[in-house]
Structure 1
Amino acid sequence: MTKENIKRYSMDELKQMRERGDYHDSRDAPEGPELGEEFWKHAVLVPPRSSPTSVHLKLDPDVFAFFKQQGKGHITRMQDVLKAYVKAQQGR
């Protein structure tokens, strides 16, 4: 689902939509098809990702400024650089 598909409504707006018949909930939606034994034979359990660890990190001002000047998402970019470094080191 993309952000342009997400719409926000107040409770009053939802009530008005229901009264007009423009709002439909899916409580009575039919159940999906049975997946069958063959599906489950090839299913793979994917464990949930662990939560990120929060740390306090001191950086040189020029390093932080470099990432910050690139705009929003600078912390994520720093994380991506660290991930790439770890991956390169593990491949040695």
Structure 2
Amino acid sequence: MPTEDEDARINQGIASDPDNPELTEADFRAAQPAQSALPVLASARRVRGPQKAPTKMLVSMRLDEDVLAAWRATGPGWQTRVNEELRRALERR
């Protein structure tokens, strides 16, 4: 938490910023929901396209800390590599 002096400096900075004034009670009363103020932007939702590969399942499992650390240490894409290794293990069975 800021000290009283720090808080006073922060509030002074807010008050002296003409590009970003502190909102007042009147501003909050005049506010509108985004849907009515900017309907085009508020309703624009990005939709993910069709998956190129079969849907994967989200799972939760417990792994030994050292095993997880070793896979994460291999860098980005480690989860994909774990999946590939598990697939190879299934094929060896």
Q: Same fold (TM over 0.5)?
A: no
Band of TM-score, shorter chain = 0.3 to 0.5
User: When the two structures are superposed, what TM-score results if normalisation uses the length of structure 1?
Assistant: 0.42
Greater share of residues in helix? 2
